[in-house]
């Protein structure tokens, strides 16, 4: 099974390294600057258990793909999806599968429209990693045992089992789900809650917990998101509903990737997470004032960020 990993950033490099550790045939589709860095230094990934992967890897640049791959692993940010689709299109043969590990839910319909439902898998992960300035990838200590893939129609397939085996050989435990859509919506709900709270406060979980109105605010955001996803037909599981406020303890340093992107002055996935959920609320007639406030906040952030460039 030949794998093409779009990018060798934090998530792509992490999963690519795990696949290589397990003996898989992996090529990274990268930009010229990253290709030169990988040629010079190799791919270096530091895992949270202290293990370090370092090796020279195969790379290809856009326009240089020489044929179809069995699996294309899509690990870009949601706002890069359309460019990513153009880049991977030459790698998608009749039997190829694209496995997206993006935040949100909207990308599934976009990929289905482009490549056909039969060539799109569902995938989700909660692995946290960061690409450091020197090109090294560092996995964080924040760990949630959430890795799953599956056919969108819920059927078992040989290709999902083959992907699971390849990742397991490299040290990633992954479930093959017969209801990946529910899993995607569950993660979407949780991430939207944390992203909305962080966007409106611009603060980490511990700071919010120490504020007098923090607990009430967290509960209000959570309950609003519950109403929206339930109207879409995917009520969140009780254990996740309980986990949202439990994550806000006074010593917690957690902040979602959307907050970190804003702290670093980078683009955010706001339109694809909070904006998407706010639009769904409008279509279903579900009041969502907090989601709309957060979406407006993110749009203002992007306008201000663009004016400084």
How far apart are the C-alpha atoms of 90 and 114, rounded to whole Å? 12
Q: Which two tokens mark 23?
A: 């003996």
> Could you write out the three-class secondary structure of the chain?
CEEEEECCCHHHHHHHHHHHHCCCEEEEECCHHHHHHHHHHCEEEECCCCCEEEECCEEECCCCCCCCEEEEEECCCHHHHHHHHHHHHHHEEEEEEEEECCCCCHHHHHHHHHHCHHHEEEEEECCCEEECCCCCEEECCCCCCCEEEEECCCCCCHHHHHHHHHHHHCCCCCEECCCHHHHHHHHHHHHHHHHHHHHHHCCCHHHHHHCCCHHHHHHHHHHHHHHHHHHCCCCCCHHHHHHHHHCCCCCCCCCCHHHHHHHCCCCCCHHHCHHHHHHHHHHHCCCCHHHHHHHHHHHHHHHHHHHCC
Paired sense of beta strands 129-131 and 137-139, if any: antiparallel
Cα separations in angstroms, 92 against 4, 135, 200: 10, 28, 40
Does 187 participate in catalysis according to the annotation? yes
How far apart are the C-alpha atoms of 109 and 113, rounded to whole Å? 6
Active-site pick, 21, 46, 77, 187:
187
Q: Which two tokens mark 166?
A: 């390849």
Tell me the catalytic residues: 187
């Amino acid at each position: 099974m030949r794998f093409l990993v779009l990018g060798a950033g934090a998530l792509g490099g992490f999963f690519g390294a795990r696949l290589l550790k397990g003996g898989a045939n992996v090529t990274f589709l990268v930009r010229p600057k990253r290709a030169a860095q990988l040629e010079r230094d190799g791919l270096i990934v530091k895992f949270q258990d202290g293990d370090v992967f370092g090796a020279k890897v195969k790379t290809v640049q856009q326009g240089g793909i020489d044929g179809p791959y069995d699996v294309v692993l899509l690990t870009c940010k949601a706002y890069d999806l359309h460019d990513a689709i153009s880049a991977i299109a030459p790698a998608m043969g009749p039997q190829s599968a694209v496995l997206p590990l993006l935040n949100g839910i909207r990308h599934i319909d976009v990929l289905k429209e482009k490549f056909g439902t039969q060539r799109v898998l569902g995938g989700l992960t909660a692995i946290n990693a960061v690409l450091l300035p020197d090109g090294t990838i560092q996995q964080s200590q924040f760990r949630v045992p959430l890795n799953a893939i599956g056919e969108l129609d819920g059927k078992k397939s040989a290709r999902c089992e083959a992907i699971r085996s390849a990742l397991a050989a490299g040290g990633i435990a992954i479930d093959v789900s017969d209801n990946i859509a529910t899993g995607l919506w569950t993660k979407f709900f949780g991430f939207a809650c944390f992203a909305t709270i962080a966007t409106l406060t611009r603060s980490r979980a511990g700071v919010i917990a120490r504020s007098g109105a923090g607990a009430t605010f967290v509960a209000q955001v959570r309950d609003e998101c519950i109403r929206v996803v339930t109207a879409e037909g995917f009520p969140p599981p009780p254990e996740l509903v309980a986990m949202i406020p439990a994550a806000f303890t006074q010593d917690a340093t957690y902040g979602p990737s959307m907050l970190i992107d804003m702290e670093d002055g980078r683009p955010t996935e706001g339109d694809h997470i909070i904006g998407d959920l706010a639009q769904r609320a409008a279509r279903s007639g579900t009041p969502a004032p907090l989601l709309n406030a957060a979406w407006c906040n993110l749009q203002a952030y992007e306008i201000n960020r663009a004016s400084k460039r």
